[in-house]
Amino acid sequence: MKISTGDPKVPVLYHVERTRTGASFSVRAVKAVQHGKAIFICQASFQQMQPSPLQHQFSMPSVPPPEELLDHEALIDQYLRDPNLHKKYRVGLNRVAALEVPIEIKVVNPPTLTQLQALEPKQMFWVRARGYIGEGDIKMHCCVAAYISDYAFLGTALLPHQSKYKVNFMASLDHSMWFHAPFRADHWMLYECESPWAGGSRGLVHGRLWRRDGVLAVTCAQEGVIRLKPQVSKSKL
């Protein structure tokens, strides 16, 4: 759970509590502190490997492979070249294009200009870290996946409303992840996102990170605050 924005110039003090240490499961509570205040709280659960015949998972969606799709930069450039693109979308896309993102993204079924105004709260895209991480420790890949999972995640809740409202403030309230199988964060994975509910200035999103071989590697859930800019009513006088 994120409490407040951290300061990259100030060291972070981590308080670790051994909540539970069992034979099969262990739990640790971590509090990150700056300036004497908590900026981040995390609860992590660990399990000894325990094979079991009780296994199942959802089926991975059937989508085009990443090699057949435009990368994020090329897709944005394609939108910006369209003379019919509305000004409000042009400003937002230019802002996104200016960001330096350490992950590669290829959107599955990117919407057309006419579809931008009426999207379902669902999206899928192929993602992977830029550069080579290597086999290494799975914990490094889990850390990178945590970053990947937060990118554009809460924005899924905005898709049906982006043509009607402008966002004033948006931030994560809590973010949960369940790691099911080993994976490489520097290999392409399909990120399937959906928002089953939004209301009360909050949005809820669910996500699934799939390996290319169809194995469900990670399940994610996030709730965030979404505050809109006040709408100014135009006088008819």
The pLDDT of residue 41 is 94
Q: Is the pLDDT of residue 165 over 90?
A: no
Q: Which domains does the chain have, with CATH numbers?
A: 1-48 (3.10.129.10), 65-228 (3.10.129.10)
Structure tokens at 99: 């960001």
The β-bridge partners of 226 are 170
Q: Which residues are catalytic?
A: 150, 172, 222
**Across residues 33-40, what is the average pLDDT?**
94
pTM, to two decimals: 0.89
Structure tokens at 42: 């995390």
User: Which residues have C-beta within 8 Å of that of residue 74, sequence separation ≥ 6?
Assistant: none
The β-bridge partners of 224 are 172, 203
- Given a contact cutoff of 8 angstroms between Cβ atoms, the answer to whether 72 and 99 are in contact is no
Instruction: Report the half-sphere exposure of 81 (CA within 13 A, side-chain side).
Output: 6
The pLDDT of residue 178 is 97
